[in-house]
Amino acid sequence: MADHAAPLLITGASRGIGEATARLFAQMGHRVALLARSVAAIESLAEEIGGLAIPCDVADEVAVRQAVHKSAAQLGGIGIVINNAGTLEPAARVLDTTPSDWTRNVEVNVFGPLYVLRHAVPLLPKGGVVINVSSGAAENPLVGWSAYCASKAALSMLTRVLAVEESDALGIRVYGFLPGVVDTDMQVFNRANRINEVGDLKREALRPVTEPAQIMYFLCGPEAADLNGQIVNARDSAVRARAGVPVLGDAG
**Is there a catalytic annotation at residue 217?**
no
Q: Is 134 a catalytic residue?
A: yes
DSSP secondary structure letter of residue 232: E
pLDDT tens digits, one per residue of 9-59: 999 999 999 999 999 999 999 999 999 999 999 999 999 999 999 999 999
Of the residues 115, 148, 175, 217, only one is catalytic, namely 148
Q: Which amino acid appears at position 20 of this protein?
A: A
Amino acid at 17: I
Please tell me the predicted confidence (pLDDT) of residue 24.
98
The pLDDT of residue 105 is above 60:
yes
Please state, in angstroms and rounded to a whole number, the distance separating the CA atoms of residues 127 and 85.
23
Sheet of 173-178, strands arranged across: 52-55, 32-36, 8-11, 80-83, 129-133, 173-178, 231-233
Contact in structure between 216 and 239 (CB atoms under 8 Å)? no
- Number of other CB atoms surrounding residue 210 within 10 Å: 16
CATH number for 8-243 (one of 3.40.50.12780, 3.40.1550.10, 3.40.50.720, 3.40.50.2300): it is: 3.40.50.720
Query: Is residue 109 over pLDDT 70?
Result: yes
Q: Name the phi and psi angles at 222, rounded to 5.
A: -65, -20
What count of other Cβ atoms lies within 10 Å of the Cβ of residue 214? 19
The catalytic position among 14, 152, 156, 217 is 152
- Choosing from 134, 146, 151, 156, which is the catalytic residue? 134
Question: Residue type for 247, please?
Answer: V
DSSP 5: T
| Catalytic residue flag (residue 148) | yes
Predicted model pTM: 0.91
**For 177-230, how does the pLDDT look when each residue is reduced to its tens digit (9 = 90+)?**
999 876 555 555 445 555 655 544 445 455 788 999 999 999 999 999 999 999
Task: Please state, in angstroms and rounded to a whole number, the distance separating the CA atoms of residues 9 and 164.
Answer: 22
